Amino acid sequence: MKVTRDEVLRLARLARLSLADDELPKLEADLSRIVDYVAELGKVDTSEVSDAPRVGPTAAPLRDDEVRVGLPRAAALAAAPRVVDGAFAVPEFVDES
């Protein structure tokens, strides 16, 4: 299957990546080849498989419902690129118009 330039750009939008024009030709070629390769899975007879497999514990264990100390706010904020009034700061994004 050919993964077109438009398809790469659609995926990039979904994945929140802005790709430079010079990145696109190689991504189109690589993704087309990889998608062709993994498409072999479609030929495997999986009619006998009922559920998706699971790994690890069969049920998620529950812990006691007790209040515990978490990460202190100052530590959580210490590596943030921008902090305002004890909170992570980002550009405005609410469109009130």
Partner 1 sequence: MSPLSLPIAELARRVQAGSVTAEAVARESLKAIADRRGLNAFLHVSEHATLEHASALDARRARGETLGALAGVPIAIKDALCTLDAPTTCGSKILAGWRSPYEATVVSRLRAADALLVGKTNMDEFAMGSSNENSAFGPVKNPWDETRIPGGSSGGSAVAVAAGMTLGALGSDTGGSIRQPAALTGTVGIKPSYGRVSRYGLVAFASSLDQVGPFARDVPSAARILAVIAGHDPRDSTSSAAAVPDYEAACQRDVRGLRVGVPEDYFGPGLDAEVADHVRAAIARLEADGACVVPIAMPHTRHGVATYYVLATAEASSNLARFDGVRFGLREERPGSDLGTLYDSTRSAGFGPEVKRRILLGTFVLSAGYYDAYYAQAQRVRALIRRDFERAFAQVDVIATPTSPTAAFPLGERVADPLAMYLADVYTLPASLAGVAALSLPVGRTRSRLPVGLQLIAPAFAEERLLSVAAACERAAP
Q: What is the binding site for partner 1 (CB under 8 A)?
A: 3, 7-8, 11-12, 14-20, 23, 26-27, 30-31, 33-35, 37-42, 44, 46, 49, 51-53, 55-57, 60-61, 63, 71, 75-76, 78-82, 88, 90-93
DSSP state of 87: E
Closest CB 64 distance from partner 1, rounded Å:
10
Q: How far apart are CA 65 and CA 60, in angstroms?
A: 15
Closest CB 36 distance from partner 1, rounded Å:
9
Q: What type of residue is 78? A: A
**Adjacent-strand bridge partners of 84:** 87
Write out the two tokens for 34: 């990889």
